[in-house]
Structure 1
């Protein structure tokens, strides 16, 4: 199992390095090194980065053997190609083997040098080295920013595989994970694939040995032409599209089926050859249902060995699973670290970070809202407390729920309301700070926080029944901002209102009396004047009679 995992990692690294990138134009492997050539115009820095992204570095030519490899790779190619030799700092040293230059591996070890006769030892000389077939691969100084025709990369590895022995009538072709292949090779890196013709048997290089396909399905589909899965015996097995069947000899290629024995089975996923018969099987992460042909998902997270890392949790997915960070943790590199939730200010007042979570707390005179733990509500906890007033407007004050405000000479205070005076409880009531507690007499059970219901089994004279107190749940409404609380009613204010009302009524009565009295006098005066005039008139008539 460890060998399979190691092989998987090796191949994955190589494939990730090649993903979305161009293939080398040529390559050659010798013992524990492979060399590749890329005909891609690049400056020295870009060329070095390209090799590094592929798990290697620019080629070092330290011996006549590696010098000869240049002829193999570039013998028929024109143009200049970067190698991994440069002058990082300072001036050239004409007395040393490498003239003060250094390999990109940051060393100057070398049993070989091949400087061009035109070498320039001045401090202003060019600092990067290229080679070409035209100059017989002499080391020529070039400006590092200049674009060469391409570059050569070097890759090191351990446990290489030698080429497979050829028998009469057979041959092998090879493909390395570096992107090149051929049939005339001496050494191959782990992860290389060998195909034997004409049988089309497939092999993969692992730890210096060749494993015949199908191998682990997690590595290049096990070498299968179509797809790979694990059969009920936990052995990698290839399967093909409908109408095709797996070659019974090489067990990896698909060929036309003259009579497809799998069609009658109506397998949901795939069919495999089970010794002398055929049977249905499912993809990884699924298991065969009781009907023998359907596939159902396996909950991989039931295996406690999944996601063993600290602060990880397993999440089952269709046919697989995923390792994610637990709630309150976040990914940092390859680890799950505690997330400081307090950085996002989730609490109204104070926040305390805890492993995987956080806790809210409140300032003095407040408590955590039981219905909204991130918020705070006013809290007194005694008979009376100073009211919470707006510092910009001392007339805007607030009291905790269950308290009423009262104005004093030294400011507004909050006084506990005795809810028991409001007959909220069916039987017995006990006032508490900011609330009240309902209880029942023996033989009764408290229902709905206030009502007492007689126990059916209780008889007079028995001591029993529930007297369990219940504190009614009071909803604390958030205070609008700003708003004015209901004004308090003091005794002085009440007397003032009564006096003012009496005075106002008396004033109205007096005005009504005055108006009616004045109108009465005016009518009386008019009547007297009319009588006088009539008397004078009668006298004149009498005078005329004489």
Structure 2
């Protein structure tokens, strides 16, 4: 029996010597993430001294359990000896294996253990709760390796009912031998009398914890630990929902989650925890080029080479050229197997051109176009900017206003000289405007020439017009004159007489 306890003592001491933040046991093996910054050789030896070894692979489920919410590089078994391999974890990115210099000190290592003679679950009363504490902080999943502590008791009660230690497929009930974890006692352990309490306190009925007042007849007032309150029937303790009482988590991106006896502040969906702070990563799901990284503590989208983040939409990318001439961005035409000019694009402020059958984007010099700026125009790559002479201030991006001038909208000139305007997009190339002016001028000239010949031809025709040609030989000319009634009768009579004579 002494040998059994000595083995348990050495086992627990070995497990306590390994500082692990998280882990997981499943089946007959456990995985532990050990936070111990060392090179590869030291990490491998430390894992072997704990009767484990560096794993060569990890399932996705194991990766999620032991690396969720953490960033760093951790040693694993070499994939291509003699080179050394690390499991790289970055928040917001997929974890992967990569080659690392063997003498580099990483964040820690991942150690894998085989479980020998594990224990099954502790059998307790229905109203009792069992809390398992595994070595190295490993998460337990129906598999309990040796060295696991099980504490059984009423939910929320200060004092447990029983405590157990897993060893050789069986649970040892406290108090056990004092040489192993103080026999499971809360304060001190005596090899003869078992658990002992400090002066003024008495040993509880569970024989492992101490209380200030002795229990009489088994009747006593229910006392609950922090985070619990007495049940209505007075027979136990119930959990207090701290999240329902008040806003416990007030930092940006946090939300409150109630747990047994306490609460936790966790990050909301779309946020990840980094250095104790919830950081918003929702924008990363919308990035056009699927690139996202943290800048000055805030996640932002990135773009591929030749592009930049759009000023109008931080999730979109736009073409960018920082030279006077850049290669055009072309979409390959699978039908012809080469680049088609109709499928090539240039940034704003550039015009497409061909150099040796290669599409290029050439910067447009907007300053060659008239009326861009009132005073001085400076060409930029893909844009231009205006500035003013001394004594004037730039207004509306291109106007230069003297401080003594009045502006209808109440603007006051306060900016010092010179004041460059922000980058303005290109309008039209200079050669386009020159061609338009030339075409209009030729058209007007042709119109004037046609008008001249038309007027000249009409003048000649009017000069040779002879009215006598339309005058007949027997054409009478009549004149209008005023007549009286007597005159009209006389003229009528004369006309009738003349007609009778002509008949004869």
Q: Aligning the two structures, in what range does the TM-score lie when normalised by the shorter sequence?
A: 0.3 to 0.5
Per the normalisation by structure 1, the TM-score is: 0.35
